[in-house]
Structure 1
Amino acid sequence: MASHKETAKQVVELIGGKANVVNAWHCFTRLRFNLHDNEKVKLNEIKQIKGVMGAQISGDQLQVIIGNTVAKVYSEVEKLVGSGSGSAAKAGGSEKKEKVISKLMDVISSVFTPIIPAIAGAGVLKGIVTLFVSLKWITKGSDTELVLQLISDSIFYFLPFLLASTTAKKFNVSQYLAIPLAGAYMYPTILDAAKAGADGLIFLGLPLPLVNYSASVIPIILSVWLLSYLVPIIDRFMPNVLKIVFTPALSFLIMIPIQLIAIGPLGHYLGLGLGNLVLWLFSFSPLIGGIFVGATRPIVILTGMHYGLFPILFQNFSQFGYDYLAPINFMSTTAVGATAIGVYLKSRNKNLKSVALSAGVSGIIGVTEPALYGVLVRLKKPLFTAMIAGGIAGGFVSVMGGKAYAFAMPSIISLPVYFGPEFIYVITGFFGSIILAIILTYVIGFDDEPNDTLKKSERSMKQQSAAKEKNVSISSIIKSPMAGAIVSLSEVPDDTFSQEIMGAGIAIQPKDNSIKSPVNGEIISIFPTKHAICLKSTDGIEILIHLGLDTVELNGKGFNILVEEGQKVEEGDLIGTMDIDYVQKAGYSILTPIIVTNSTSYKSILLRKSRGEIYFQEALLTISK
């Protein structure tokens, strides 16, 4: 396993270096970046870094999936790129125009991600306090309960201050100018008057509505966003000698009245409207709403857009004192973890079982990326299994009125936040989601990966023993260098291959970018255009892997060779990648012939599989002298 420092170093190099980074942060499992130029990102190479589970660009945000050790990797990334932006790129993103929804998701993710640990911890504590009071372990109204409620409520009550800080970082404006805007929203005169139902104030002849902004989300985000435009305008006309005092003074004098008169009430009622709209949809059909949210959550997580629901969740807590989406998310998260456990129980591949078990446990406790990327997406069918199980369990808990009474990440660790009259239904849905996911994993099934667990020396001895018993020559096995669909050479639309001019073999239509060594041996040739690799096994078999057809015309674009001529390799080593999406968009076939170029030296070259799917390192050819 690569060190966190080495992982961070490679990631930063492959995203274009420090100079390309506008903003960097992390969530529970992902490094997240805003970059000046996404074209500089070597996405496929990032995916091959040890310690990286996957990578994608969603909207204008690069996400590198690390898993449970993301905080440690980020601490090393921060040393390389800094915690702020690489330059003053407005709105914290690429200079390219973004689609509104993608940009909105990027902002929400950037603003909420850094504060998730604090609000999740406080949410669990709030649930525990409620549980202890219900069980009469703590007397309601006692000093002990008061102090514990103070601890757990303070983060939510003063949420605008936290959001002012993270929003300022996102929009590249001083946090020390942004936080006072939250102070204006949370000023006791405003809050007390709003709670008392007092009439609004009049400021310079303009009405100033009184609103309770505690635990609010949208108003402070809008205010800091506007501040990020106002400060540069003031700076432009302010003499340098006066900036340190008068830029802040004018910023407050202009912004705070504007936010209290217009932005705050607008954001407040926008949040209410958004929350009421979702509530109306669920009131119309709790079953359909629950099924939809529960079934689609794995896809939403895969795209990194799950933080987009946070404003609605917090609005629900502020408006109703509870949230009805969190239990559905909990069901879906549980289904993802349980499906991975189902794969562990059903699979016969020891390596896959090991990955599935650890990923399943991780999913049950709330971190789903290892299960999603390491098991469900990898095997495909289990992803749909998890969506079905999550949808059914989500529909059930929605119909039964499941609620969360504090914010927490959806996991078994957060059970106390669901404690209330509907707790029994949340528990029932939790166990039902696990059972249903495991059963569906068996019913729907998946294409198990081959179990190749024998050591090389043991295989060699078994082959030699079998050969002696049958009095035949020892055969060599060529493994598949890629995953995909088998295609006969006779069907390859290139006479050089279809007529076996270069030798016998097989072709594969790949479904993955990776190319691995099919043998123990040596790299004997790499074409300058990187579209073809020649290897020689330790027992003399010469193998050509020709990446796509006519791809020499790409001049190396779309290909990344990770080895050098003369380099020793072992079976299964990653030797290169082919960006199959890029090659196909460029108008070329990705069909990859795999040829034994010294075929005439062997008695027979037999196909181990002539049709269907083949996986990495599955037996492809048997060669006998």
Structure 2
Amino acid sequence: MDQKQLAQGILTGVGGKDNIEKAWHCATRLRFYLKDDKKADTPTVEKLDGVITVVKSAGQYQVVIGNAVASVYDALADLAGISEDEAPVDKKAEKQAQGSIVNRFIGFISGVFTPFLGAMAGAGILKGLLALFTALSWMSTKSGTYEILYAASDGIFYFLPIFLAFTAAKQLHVSQFVAVALGATLVYPTLVATAGKGTVLHFLGIPVVSATYTSTVIPILLAIWVLSYLEPVLDKIFPEAVRTIFTPLLSLAIMAPVTLIVVGPIGSAISNVLAAGVMGVYNFAPFLAGAIMGAFWQVFVIFGVHWTFVPLMMNNIAKMGYDPLLPILAAAVLSQGGAALGVFLKSKNQKMKALAGSGVITSLFGITEPTIYGVTLKLKRPFYCAVASGAIGGAIIGAGAVHTNAFALPSLLAVPGYTGNGVVIGLLGIAVAFFGGAILTYLFGIKKEDNVADTASVSQDGAITIDAPVAGTLIPLKNVNDEVFATEAMGKGIAIVPTDDTVKAPVSGTISALYPTGHAIGITADNGAEILIHIGINTVQLNGQFFEALTKQNDHVTVGDPLVKADFAQIKAAGYDPTVMVIVTNTASYAAVTPTSDTEAASQPILTLTPQTETTTEGATAANV
């Protein structure tokens, strides 16, 4: 599926462009504020080729795409008419879409940092590399090369209030360029030099607190928040003819001194308290802090609350010149990569192996969403193994007091930014997390039922294979004691006299029909096959007795997932034939449906579907039963 088709599928799945209050993207996810979440068809979106999963967090509807998210967003923006020059936003509707104040705060922080997070991470890595090169005497700090590259790496951090002003203004729907002008005021060279000398300025006789705001986060965010209340008032005062001049004029004339006299010092005080608080907790028990953050950082990512830590980490670097949390997070990130490596080495499922292999690579560079949602969390045990190894690696890094002097995505690329002897201990902690995750996952992380070949995929010759849904003895469909199935009126297939009580998914796909009695399940496979599993003959008359559904309609299942628990001993005792029929209800879509020659069913393929060379009319669907 190309990017435009994928974007169209997502747009339709979220309820169309009229249901989108706001849309943007981060490194791996499309993020939406929807007007009505109920209009979104999440199972359909998750089934799209190119979508890893859908996450609902912090009031946002998040579609996890992976590394191709930017091109998918561009296609979505074209289809939905989304542009940087957006129409005026209904703030009340947006607040309703975002939900609680906590969700709005997390969404705000996410929206502020996401647009330039990649540039900031790249600059941080460059800054770390320059520190490494000078420490190894590969480069002199007095050389022109160093000065130019250092300016490129440090500029975004030095002038951080300007970048934050621009993105915060967009989130709060005030003039972005007035906000940028305010941010530039805070880092204006003359004021920075004056603050550095400790000289006290006065504004209309009021003393201005001497402070330097370069590289700071909280003061400018507070200032733009105050501006978001002032600007609408000024817009109401001035007529439209002069509003474009006088609103910015008074906004700057009022906000510049208010920020320097009141808002800035309050923001600086908050920054100092937060930095002291984070370091207080860290210094109390670095080993424990490392273990907790190493274990649960990816859990924070899943719920979207990790954004609340970004200002804290950047604030630490601004106030203290270093941060102890970012190196710990590298252990959490690399542990997921290690778990993905364990899955890659152990899994027999080719699709899962491919996802895990790419997940290892992206994790090394600090991107874990495709790994988490596509591999470790999907299989569950590998995620737990990653949590355990991340805790151990994080504890090592915390106990070693590893610090970084530059913000970068937690990854191998961030290691050059580790200060002093922290590089060695940091690498040790990362190695323990990565290889520990791989070893634990390889030994304990994959359940036997998850470690089966991807039999629902298409082979090199185009044939599709269907697994046995239950263990037992295989018999030809024509021998079944039911005329409808025996004559193949419903479609071709095979039957099983079961020896196990759990009926499992024979293909990966979506539950298209699940009857209240539990005796029949329809599955639309990801590859297009329509499968009906009919448990017993005339068992509909039991009205659900002796059947327990373990899934529900519209759920997406993978090969081997349990679907129904059937007490076949009781079914037989009640006088019913327990034979399980597996029918391809769209048989006409295939050139041939060939049963296996085996006589016993386990986890092997029992049907082979040969595709048509030309399009044909599909047969009956499972919903017709």
Give the Cα–Cα distance (whole angstroms) in 2 for the partners of residues 367 and 338 of structure 1: 13
- Cα contact 1:366–1:411 (8 A) shared by 2: yes
Structure 1 counterpart of 2:618 = none
- 1:50 counterpart = 2:60: no
Mapped contact 1:89–1:95 kept (Cα < 8 A): no
**Counterpart amino acid of residue 127 in structure 1:** G
The answer for the alignment partner of 1:303 in structure 2 is: 303
Q: Distance between the aligned counterparts of 1:516 and 1:198, measured in 2?
A: 73
Find the counterpart in structure 2 of residue 19 from structure 1: 18
CA distance in 1: counterparts of 2:375 and 2:154, whole angstroms: 38
Query: 3-state SS of the aligned residue for 1:95?
Result: helix
- Cα contact 1:480–1:620 (8 A) shared by 2: no
Task: Find out whether 1:605 has 2:579 as its counterpart.
Answer: yes
- Match in the other structure for 2:489: none
Amino acid at match of 1:29: T
Equivalents in 2 of 1:131, 1:226: separation in Å? 41
Look up the equivalent residue of 2:48 and give its one-letter code: I
Q: Could you tell me which amino acid in structure 2 is paired with residue 516 of structure 1?
A: T
Deviations 1:403-453 (A, max 9, x none): 112111111233322253211101111211122112222443331422254
Residue in structure 1 matched with residue 198 of structure 2 by the alignment: 197
- Report the Cα distance in structure 1 between the residues aligned to 2:355 and 2:146, rounded to whole angstroms: 43
Determine the C-alpha separation between the residues in 1 that align with 2:81 and 2:146: 44
Which amino acid counterpart does residue 148 of structure 2 have in structure 1? V
Q: Deviations over 1:321-366 (max 9, x none)?
A: 1111111111110000101111122223333222222212222222
Instruction: Quickly say closer, same or farther: Cα 1:519–1:304, change in 2 above 3 A.
Output: closer
* C-alpha displacement of 1:392: 0.9
Is residue 60 of structure 1 aligned with residue 59 of structure 2? yes
Q: What is the SS of the residue equivalent to 1:211? A: coil
Quick one: distance in 2 between partners of 1:60 and 1:183? Answer: 32
Opposite residue 445 of structure 1, the aligned amino acid is G
Shift of 1:23: 2.5
Structure 1 residue 246 corresponds to structure 2 residue 250: no
Distance in 2, Cα, partners of 1:149 & 1:545: 74
SS in 1 for 2:61: strand
Per the alignment, in what secondary structure is the counterpart of residue 378 of structure 2? Answer: helix
Contact 1:191-1:210 at 8 Å conserved across structures: no
After superposition, the Cα gap between the structure-2 partners of 1:137 and 1:29, relative to the gap in structure 1 and judged at 3 Å, is same
Aligned-partner SS, 1:94: helix
Paired AA for residue 135 in structure 1: L
Is the contact between residue 231 and residue 251 of structure 2 (CA under 8 Å) also seen in structure 1? yes
Tell me if the contact between 2:178 and 2:248 (Cα under 8 Å) persists in the aligned partners.
yes
CA drift at 1:536: 9.5
State the partner residue of 2:208. Answer: 208
Match of residue 316 from structure 2? 316
Whole-angstrom distance in 2 between the partners of 1:243 and 1:439: 65
Instruction: Report deviation, 1:198.
Output: 2.3
SS of 1:46's partner is: helix
CA distance in 2, matches of 1:135, 1:370: 36
Summarize the Cα distance change of 1:67–1:232 in structure 2 as closer, same or farther, 3 Å threshold: same
State how far apart, in whole Å, the 2-side matches of 1:435 and 1:13 are: 42
CA contact (8 A) 1:127 1:406 kept: yes
Structure-2 change in CA distance of 1:64 and 1:517 (3 Å): closer
Q: Give the Cα separation in 2 of the matches to 1:44 and 1:520.
A: 16
Q: Give the direction of change, closer, same or farther, for the CA distance of 1:559–1:476 in structure 2 (3 Å limit).
A: closer
Q: Secondary structure at the match of 2:96?
A: coil
CA distance in structure 2 between the aligned counterparts of 1:367 and 1:180, rounded to whole angstroms: 34
Question: Measured at CA, do residues 317 and 391 of structure 1 come closer, stay the same or move farther in structure 2, by a change above 3 Å?
Answer: same
Residue number in structure 1 paired with 2:177? 176
User: Deviation of residue 380 (structure 1)?
Assistant: 0.8
SS in 2 for 1:93: helix
Mapping 1:438-587, distance limit 5 Å = 438-448=438-448, 449=450, 450-453=452-455, 475-476=494-495, 480=505, 497=517, 505=519, 515-517=523-525
Secondary structure of 2:374's partner? helix
> Structure 1 counterpart of 2:302, which letter?
L
Contact residue 35 and residue 94 of structure 1 kept, 8 A: no
CA contact (8 A) 2:60 2:98 kept: no
Alignment pair present for 1:10 and 2:9: yes
TM-fit CA distance, 1:25: 1.6
1:169 CA displacement: 1.2
Separation of aligned partners in 2, 1:253 and 1:31: 38
Residue 453 and residue 419 in structure 1: after superposition, are their counterparts in 2 closer, same or farther (change >3 A)? farther
Which residue in the other structure is 1:28 paired with? 27
- Conserved 8 A contact 2:392-2:432: no
In structure 1, the residue matched to 2:350 is 350
Contact kept? 2:51, 2:63, Cα under 8 Å: yes
Unmatched 5+ stretches in structure 1: 499-504, 508-513, 524-534, 551-557, 563-570, 574-589, 609-616
- CA–CA distance in 1 between the matches of 2:90 and 2:152? 38
Provide closer, same or farther for how the CA distance between residues 545 and 520 of structure 1 changes in structure 2, counting only shifts above 3 A. farther
State the distance in 1 between where 2:465 and 2:31 align.
44
Please state how far the C-alpha of 1:385 moved relative to its aligned partner: 0.8
Equivalent residue, structure 2, for 1:187? 188
Q: Post-superposition shift, 1:206?
A: 2.9
Amino acid paired to 2:121: A
**Aligned counterparts of 2:145 and 2:427: Cα–Cα separation in 1:** 28
Q: How many residues align?
A: 537
1:103 and 1:361 mapped to 2: Cα distance?
33
C-alpha distance in structure 2 between counterparts of 1:305 and 1:519, whole Å: 36
- Greater Cα shift, 35-44 or 119-128: 35-44
Question: Which residue number corresponds to residue 260 of structure 2?
Answer: 260
The equivalent of 2:611 in structure 1 is none
- Paired AA for residue 93 in structure 1: E
Counterpart of 1:76 in structure 2: which amino acid?
A: A
Amino acid in the other structure paired with 1:133: T
Deviations 1:197-239 (A, max 9, x none): 223x332343321211001111111211222222121111211
1:133-173 per-residue CA deviation (whole Å, 9 max, x = no partner) reads 11111123233322221111111100111111111111112
Distance (whole Å) between structure 2 residues aligned to residue 423 and residue 561 of structure 1 = 46
2:133 matched to 1:154?
no
Contact kept in structure 1, 2:297 and 2:332, CA below 8 Å: yes
How much has 1:379 moved relative to structure 2? 0.8
What secondary structure does 1:310 align onto?
helix
The separation in 2 between residues aligned to 1:132 and 1:543, in whole angstroms, is: 77
Q: Is the 8 A contact 2:416 2:423 kept in 1?
A: no
State the match for 1:71 in structure 2.
Answer: 70
Alpha-carbon distance in 2 for matches of 1:96, 1:591: 37
Per the alignment, do residues 536 and 338 of structure 1 end up closer, same or farther by CA in structure 2, a change over 3 Å counting? closer
Matching residue of 1:416: 416
**Which residue in 1 is equivalent to 2:598?**
none
Q: Distance in 1 between matches of 2:240 and 2:494?
A: 81
In structure 2, how many angstroms separate the alpha carbons of the residues matched to 1:53 and 1:168? 32
Supply the distance in 1 between the matched residues of 2:164 and 2:184 (Cα, whole angstroms).
12
Of all paired residues, the percent bearing the same amino acid is 33
Does the CA contact (< 8 Å) of 2:348 and 2:454 recur in 1?
no
Which AA in structure 2 matches 1:55? V
Letter in 1 for 2:23: A
Cα displacement string for residues 452-507 of structure 1 (whole angstroms, at most 9, x for unaligned residues): 549596979x9xxx999xxx9994469726899xxxx9xx9x8xx48xxxxxx578
TM-score by length of 1: 0.76
- For 1:51 and 1:593, how far apart are their aligned partners in 2? 36
Give the letter aligned to residue 418 of structure 1: Y
The alignment's C-alpha RMSD in Å is: 4.2
Counterpart of 1:399?
A: 399
- Which residue identity does 1:315 align to in structure 2? N
Check 1:226–1:77 CA distance in 2 against 1; reply closer, same or farther (3 A cut). farther
Read off the aligned partner of 2:416 and give its amino acid letter.
P
What SS is found at the alignment partner of 1:34?
A: strand
TM superposition shift of 1:92: 8.8
Does the residue aligned with 1:216 lie in a helix, a strand or coil?
A: coil
Whether the 8 Å contact between 2:162 and 2:180 is mirrored in structure 1 is yes
Q: Do the aligned partners of 2:165 and 2:183 also contact (CA within 8 Å) in 1?
A: yes
Query: 1-side partners of 2:322 and 2:544: how far apart?
Result: 58
For the Cα contact (< 8 Å) 1:126–1:153, is it kept in 2?
yes
Does the 8 A contact of 2:465 with 2:605 survive in 1? no
Gaps spanning 5+ residues in structure 2: where?
A: 481-492, 497-502, 546-551, 583-601, 608-625
Q: How many angstroms apart in 1 are the aligned matches of 2:440 and 2:186?
A: 50
